[in-house]
Structure 1
């Protein structure tokens, strides 16, 4: 069952599912609780690929470290510019604690999608918690502006009819308790 605004607010209040929580705001690019979801805000830090890397370099998802120089880090209190045909990582301003009987899916906001910005986020599994790392691809030949502290994506929550046997927390998932933008990592 997909959760409604009333059910989402109840989980936010009773289980601190999303923090900080703000009511729906429709100025700028909207954020907060919507009819059947929650629009999260973009934080003030992003990772961008270094365009000057060797064209023969291969990114290995089993062995990427921030210090390797694949990404450069930018911080802003206003906005970021995602260059044409590029990829960037950001994160939500909100911290999520997904209950053990809930699965969250993240989808892009139509305002950005209509500009050619593609958002990919894997599901937030039952029992997962942390700041969500967001993956952005600019599919256009034009730079796209991303606004800090405004809605950047929407999470839709599905509640299972029963508890799952093993949560993300139970299996000691490698992306548990993310605080910063998190690059691919091997299981520790």
Structure 2
């Protein structure tokens, strides 16, 4: 809608671990969505940042961080990224990547709540940090928020000094009893368990 009004393409800053959301955004760009740039916001796992800086992709060991859903040292979607952009110069034109440490994640969570009244998760905090590091820009930036902060209350609440409100739909899910079933490592038993109870 904004593009129709302004004619200006948008750019995304996407919290990234395995690159699924970022590569999906790049596919939509290739299909015609008016995207100027996609910026991957990584935690301390920086294999993709290194790849974009050097042109050589080297998977690395995974580093544990506060943004744990993004703790990926060898993103499997790098192969899709390479297939989508066989010309590295075009990849560099359309994509950027930045690595953010845990201290910056913590600072972004505090700042977001204090200055804007917005409580964010550690993953979203990587995007907020990258946007702040970019500074003045002619790009129209959209920060992607990939998780609700209530999923990370043990990290977020001490930083902001108050509880994170849990949305009603999430509360309802959390009230459901856990369900699990032990099965032996046997394909037929797995298929039987997946097919559900017999009527």
Q: Same fold (TM over 0.5)?
A: no
Higher RCO, 1 or 2 (CA under 8 Å, sep at least 6)?
1
Q: With structure 1 as the length reference, what TM-score do the two structures score?
A: 0.21
Structure ranking higher in helix proportion: 2
Q: With structure 2 as the length reference, what TM-score do the two structures score?
A: 0.20
